[in-house]
Structure 1
């Protein structure tokens, strides 16, 4: 029996193709599409994109998703991405590089400004928000809709019991998600309206300033909300 196989051959990755133009012109939106695509297929699409476009897409991808892809690549390749990307892109990408390879990659970056920018991120004092954000928190940008956040939280695997942070557009911590506000929110309401703590928390804020909030104990009740 013949079955339909999905692969990058079904997509036009050529410089004039629709997929290429979407990825190049709208890397953030394209990354959201990839995040909801089966991993193997999404990774094949990423591999088919030119390096600069791939880096821009990765810089906007969900951290855990991007980290799984980056972990499969040699440090030399990752360093090449960092050398090619803009400083803003490099800073975002650095947050998605597994900690055990980040140091090796930084040593291979040729641009001193990029290195210093990354070091400002990775040298946060212990017990600050930035030191745990990659590993222990799920984060959402303030302009994401509540319905989108709920859908993504419902898709978390049960073992991914984490804290949920709301980040400003420049990725500073605004606060945690307020469960009650989220459940009562409108479908298209931005998630920033559901901040549990309204005081702006910079990345170097003490972790103690953030009230812990566990997804696992709360979000099964949201299954009928969206």
Structure 2
């Protein structure tokens, strides 16, 4: 398997220490189907630019064209059409297609373009594609990918297949990917890549520039800074490329670099990394181990993936669905993923049934009490959803800080008090107009106020408590909050009604 030495450049500095760089490769361009060679310069020639204002229609038309060509078995036209599209446009065009058709199309691409697309497609299509490739072909494609994406894709394979693919990879890429796979998938280590440039702090700018000039063009696309290391490999500084190019070639890195650069620890949670990126408006960020040795870097596009992943996870929990069903085409699998949530909600609502059973005598005595149960439960549930959604978002974005939890709790309770009073007055007026019973109307007004206050406390307090315990607060939203408020809202309402039972009987008679 052909593999040029671009990604493994090593340059001996004047002190005998390595000037090391990592970068994606531009190796063999044989197609994975018939071994027919393509000129690398033509792999992305005449890229088709889709109209941003009409993307859905254009991608739909392209998808139909791919299906037509598959039916006609025009493999060369399929490959040419796929190569005209950017990786993002191609992945979005293929998304509506079934996994078998997607795999058949991607199977026709040369390793380098295929590597660019693999990071964009779903896992089911990825599995179908790998089923069509042998181990050497999978290894060749992964070698063309950035190390972090290769590690992510490799982790989707079973253990035995992982070992076979790693064994087939070039030693340098194998070591990098194996190292990345040792870190937790939701940590900075699992997020970082190994495509960075680092030089000794006592080497010259001219040596660093000479290293850059030996690299291929595509290897420099995502390089924004050169990192400086001491003799132990510890991060001591960074130098943006524009400053490196403007510096005196004889100047030493330690004299022109930015000292004490921002960095993150390799074990830091990816959500904290994403927040750090946004706070400092970063494009890339070095990652260090516990000895401050540089082990990788994180790019802004990786952080964007984290933000999308976390938003999808939070939305799924708000709605009471599984993350896995996004993009799923099988109704059976979607139903299977939703059933546990619905069964959990059903079990929780048994609490409401028990509460109603406990207060059966009160409901039989004053039947009008039952008319307002849906209203009490709905407004309590909506209040809980409102407050919990605001709190979960605030915790995710850092707007709700640990040292200001009390302030936020007071704000939510104040809001609940105002809205509760307004709703209590409204339901009192409606009840008087409908039933003409002032005692029942007072009970309804008090119950509405207390239920909204309780719902706000639950919707605010539970996410904050879970956050304090290190649990994702998004689990407190959706069906959980709604079910909790249904049960306790009923309990508050019917308890008040029972306390006022004699007065209510008199009003009813």
State the TM-score, normalizing by the size of structure 2: 0.26
Which structure 2 residues correspond to residues 82-97 of structure 1 after superposition, within 5 A? 82-97=142-157
Equivalent residue pairs, number: 161
The 1:56–1:199 alpha-carbon spacing in structure 2 relative to 1, beyond 3 Å, is same
In the alignment, what sits opposite 1:118?
Answer: 177
Per-residue deviation, 1:129: 5.0
In the alignment, what sits opposite 1:37?
Answer: 97
In the alignment, what sits opposite 1:12?
Answer: 77
Conserved 8 A contact 1:60-1:92: no
Q: Aligned partners of 2:133, 2:77: CA distance in 1, in Å?
A: 24
Show CA shifts across 1:37-57 (max 9, x none).
122221111111112112221
The 1:143–1:29 alpha-carbon spacing in structure 2 relative to 1, beyond 3 Å, is farther
In the alignment, what sits opposite 2:138?
Answer: 78
Q: Aligned partners of 1:85, 1:129: CA distance in 2, in Å?
A: 20
Give RMSD over aligned pairs. 4.5
Structure 1: 5+ residue stretches without partners:
134-139, 163-179, 185-193, 201-207, 219-226
The 1:52–1:129 alpha-carbon spacing in structure 2 relative to 1, beyond 3 Å, is same
Q: Which moved more, 1:152-161 or 1:95-104?
A: 152-161
Show CA shifts across 1:104-157 (max 9, x none).
211221141x223322332246xx757xx9xxxxxx9335998xx989357462
2:334 is aligned with 1:158: yes
The 1:211–1:99 alpha-carbon spacing in structure 2 relative to 1, beyond 3 Å, is farther
In the alignment, what sits opposite 2:118?
Answer: 58
Conserved 8 A contact 1:55-1:89: no
SS at match of 1:198: helix
The 1:199–1:41 alpha-carbon spacing in structure 2 relative to 1, beyond 3 Å, is same
Per-residue deviation, 1:70: 1.6
Q: Aligned partners of 1:79, 1:155: CA distance in 2, in Å?
A: 29
The 1:123–1:34 alpha-carbon spacing in structure 2 relative to 1, beyond 3 Å, is same
Q: Aligned partners of 1:92, 1:116: CA distance in 2, in Å?
A: 15
In the alignment, what sits opposite 1:198?
Answer: 396
The 1:108–1:211 alpha-carbon spacing in structure 2 relative to 1, beyond 3 Å, is farther
Q: Aligned partners of 1:160, 1:211: CA distance in 2, in Å?
A: 24
Q: Aligned partners of 2:117, 2:162: CA distance in 1, in Å?
A: 19
SS at match of 2:169: coil
Show CA shifts across 1:18-48 (max 9, x none).
43110xxx21332232232122221111111
Per-residue deviation, 1:101: 0.7
Structure 2: 5+ residue stretches without partners:
1-66, 191-303, 317-324, 339-384, 399-469, 481-509
Q: Aligned partners of 1:10, 1:79: CA distance in 2, in Å?
A: 23
The 1:160–1:34 alpha-carbon spacing in structure 2 relative to 1, beyond 3 Å, is farther
